[in-house]
Structure 1
Amino acid sequence: MKPRRSVSWSLLVMRGPDRKVKQFRVSKRSIVAAPAACVLVVSGCVAGLELRSAYQIDQLEGTLASQANAHRQAIHLKEGQIEELQDELARAVRQANDMNTKLTDLQALEAKLKQFTEVYGATVQPSYPVYKEDAASVRESDEQAAYSADKEAAYMARLALESNLDFKAVSTMVDAMEKTMSESLRQAKQRQAELDALPSGWPTISRTLTSSFGYRTDPFTGRSTFHAGIDIGGEPGDPVFAAGDGLVTETGSDSSKGNYIVITHSNGLQTVYYHLKRITAKLNDSALRGDKIGELGSTGRSTAPHLHFQIMQKDEAVNPLPYLRLVKED
């Protein structure tokens, strides 16, 4: 029986006409094993990268879930505070209305007492009238006779005078009530103005957040950078609304912000709107919550149509989400 011959390939390397030819023998087994080893190495690398990516994604999802939970808790707390302020405002308005009704009733009573005094004051005797049936105790003069004949009217007049004297204290109380009512109304208006100035209105039709407040991977550089607001995705031309009552203190356009608007509110906050397609508000305009101030776009340093919305407090960016009433994170 002939021995089994091993199958091998020969590779000839010729480096020039004057140099020796080198011959390399490669077995069939090596030819099959080399690609398989390469495939295994590549597969191992791919699997390792996938495991690493899955781990990083899991960590990122956990972080985002924690941040979303914190945002929801902050929003819930802020909503509770806003509801308490609204309830307090409603109570103040009801109190003012009740006091106004009481004041009207007291003024009507005062007018009636003055009328009684004007009609019956001249016939009132300097002392209390005598209501004895014994005629001997009553003087038989014409004046006393007239008084006795009209003693019911005199009694009403005496009550009116006594009430009129007591009404001075009532008038003092009414004055205090007027001051209290005026102060309550002033505080109610002040609180209403504070609530209206609070940037709690959603600034777009869309509720889709494409980027949250805080550190993120910059879409242009790929580095971790601080994002000073939130990005809300939408369609080009969607209306952009003022989040709260305020004054348009800045409008403009540059290569980073695109077309932008800054609104200053009476509570010391500022709201900022970037990447607008068009600005409809004018500088120094008064804007109310819900007023259209521009249109959503993708101007400036932007990768897609969206609104960059941020809130500034004492020149420092703060998270807008606790101020907004409706939040939907996608």
Structure 2
Amino acid sequence: MKRARKPKWSFVVLRGADKTVKQFHVSKRFVFAAPTAIVLALSGSITGLQLKSYYELNQLEAALSEQELLFSETLSGKDKAIHTLQQDLIGLSQQTNEMKKKMEALQQLELRLKQFIYKYGDRLDSSSERVPISDMIPPAQTTSLLPDASIQSLNYIKESVPFSLLAQKTDVTLTTLDSIADTMEKSMALTLELAHTTRASVDAYPSIWPTRSKLLSSGFGYRRDPLTGRAAFHAGIDITGKLGDPVFSAADGTVSETGYNSSLGSYIVVDHLEGLQSAYMHLKKIEAKKGDSVVRGEKIGLLGSSGRSTGPHLHFQIMHKHEPVNPIPYLSLIKED
């Protein structure tokens, strides 16, 4: 018994009217399997493309996320840098304001020092060695009471450009300039304090002429007494002048005694530093009271001829620890005719 043959599908290909005909026989299974295979192949290709696209999309999204994170970090860093710069600018502005205040203070100190030097500079630049007062050497011939370092500072201020120009002539930072300003301020303040102390010390020495007249009629030491004709010790100097001429204090001090004596006439005694005293005798009038504080060059009386006197004159006397010393070396102006 023969097996039944499965039906087949035939395909005829006509290439032309004069050409032979081609006939193909395919099974029914093939007819249905081929389209299915094609569909599956297309589906697989599409799926593969989708998977590839999905993978690439994920890669792009990851790269984009990484770039966004990097950008965010960069932006955050920029913001921090900008904030830091703003704080630095605020700090620099504050420093600048503080520096301006310090510069103004330094300029004031500098001006005060220059004014002091202008008035007292010649007295502060002496280079001779100081001799003790006990040796009766006058202050006008001694060295400055300031230390050498302060003298150098004062000379620097006299010759140098103002400190306010330092920032323009150098490239130092604000911090360095601030440190320099602090140092200069302390140095200048100390120098000014020492300068004022020196001025007070100088002014407290009896070193200016006590009258307008510079004419001496009698010096310090032994002489012939004009009334008795005998040799006698003269404890001061006699300065002739016009009756009623002003008499000035030779230095800063305190009036310790005033009064009248039949020999000394109307007189004034002024106490000064380091045990020094100055006395003014034979006055016409006393214009200071005991306990008064007088300054160098202040009028304290009128020249006269009271007491034991041969004519209008001032007997001027300087004592060191109550012992008379020669007034001439103490006086800054001397004229003998």
TM-score (normalised: structure 1):
0.51
Write out the 4+ residue segments of structure 1 that deviate beyond 6 Å after TM superposition. 74-78, 88-91, 97-100
Does residue 249 (structure 1) correspond to residue 259 (structure 2)? The answer is no
Q: Of 240, 248, 252, which residue of structure 1 is paired with 2:247? A: 240
Distance in 2, matches of 1:193 and 1:100, equals: 28
Please give the per-residue CA displacement for 1:68-92, whole angstroms capped at 9, x wherever unaligned: xxxxxx999965547x779x89865
Please give the per-residue CA displacement for 1:41-84, whole angstroms capped at 9, x wherever unaligned: xxxxxxxxxxxxxxxxxxxxxxxxxxxxxxxxx999965547x7
* Matching residue of 1:263: 270
Per the TM alignment, residue 208 of structure 1 is displaced from its structure 2 partner at its CA by 1.5
For 1:185-200, list aligned pairs within 5 A: 185-200=192-207
- Residue correspondences, number: 199
Does residue 312 (structure 1) correspond to residue 319 (structure 2)? The answer is yes
Q: Which runs of 5+ in 1 are unaligned?
A: 1-73, 110-159
* Matching residue of 1:281: 288
Contact 1:271-1:310 at 8 Å conserved across structures = yes
Does residue 329 (structure 1) correspond to residue 298 (structure 2)? The answer is no
Fraction of identical pairs, as percent: 51
* Matching residue of 1:11: none
Distance in 2, matches of 1:77 and 1:241, equals: 19
* Matching residue of 1:153: none
Distance in 2, matches of 1:295 and 1:196, equals: 22
TM-score (normalised: structure 2):
0.50
Give the partner amino acid of 1:243: A
* Matching residue of 2:183: 176
Per the TM alignment, residue 203 of structure 1 is displaced from its structure 2 partner at its CA by 0.8
CA distance 1:263–1:99, shift in 2 (3 Å):
farther
Please give the per-residue CA displacement for 1:246-272, whole angstroms capped at 9, x wherever unaligned: 222211112121111111123432110
Per the TM alignment, residue 99 of structure 1 is displaced from its structure 2 partner at its CA by 9.6
CA distance 1:76–1:180, shift in 2 (3 Å):
same
Secondary structure of the 1:188 match is helix
Contact 1:96-1:181 at 8 Å conserved across structures = no
Q: What's the Cα RMSD here?
A: 3.6
Larger Rg: 2
Distance in 2, matches of 1:281 and 1:314, equals: 22
CA distance 1:91–1:276, shift in 2 (3 Å):
farther
CA distance 1:211–1:75, shift in 2 (3 Å):
same
Secondary structure of the 2:273 match is coil
Give the partner amino acid of 2:237: I
Per the TM alignment, residue 176 of structure 1 is displaced from its structure 2 partner at its CA by 3.1
* Matching residue of 1:293: 300
* Matching residue of 1:206: 213
Q: Which runs of 5+ in 2 are unaligned?
A: 1-134
Contact 2:242-2:303 at 8 Å conserved across structures = yes
For 1:1-330, list aligned pairs within 5 A: 79=140, 81=142, 92-93=153-154, 95=156, 101-102=162-163, 167=175, 171-330=178-337
